[in-house]
Amino acid sequence: MFDPLEWGRIYAEPRAAGKRFVFRRSYELTLDLCRTLVRPGQRWLDVGCGTGQLTAALDQPAVCIIGADLDHKMVKIARQRTANVIVAEAGALPFADATLDGVVATSLVGCLSSPGELFKEAYRVLCDQGHVVITFSNEAIGSSS
Residue 4 has pLDDT above 80, yes or no: no
> What local confidence, expressed as pLDDT, does residue 141 receive?
43
> What local confidence, expressed as pLDDT, does residue 109 receive?
62
Nearest CA to 2 out of 71, 52, 90, 69 is that of 71
> What local confidence, expressed as pLDDT, does residue 23 receive?
73
Q: Which residue has the higher pLDDT, 29 or 143?
A: 29
Q: Which residue has the higher pLDDT, 49 or 20?
A: 49
Nearest CA to 102 out of 58, 52, 50 is that of 58
> What local confidence, expressed as pLDDT, does residue 145 receive?
36
Task: Provide the whole-model pTM.
Answer: 0.81
Q: Which helix (H) or strand (E) holds 3?
A: none
Residue 104 has pLDDT above 60, yes or no: yes
Residue 144 has pLDDT above 60, yes or no: no
- pLDDT tier at 26, thresholds 50, 70, 90: confident
Contact criterion met (CB below 8 Å) for 128 and 70: no
Q: Domains of the chain, with CATH numbers?
A: 4-134 (3.40.50.150)
> What local confidence, expressed as pLDDT, does residue 115 receive?
75
Q: How far is 3 from 77, CA to CA, in rounded Å?
A: 11
Q: What is the mean pLDDT of residues 34-49?
A: 94
The pLDDT tens digits of the residues spanning 44-76 come to 999 989 889 899 999 888 999 999 999 999 899
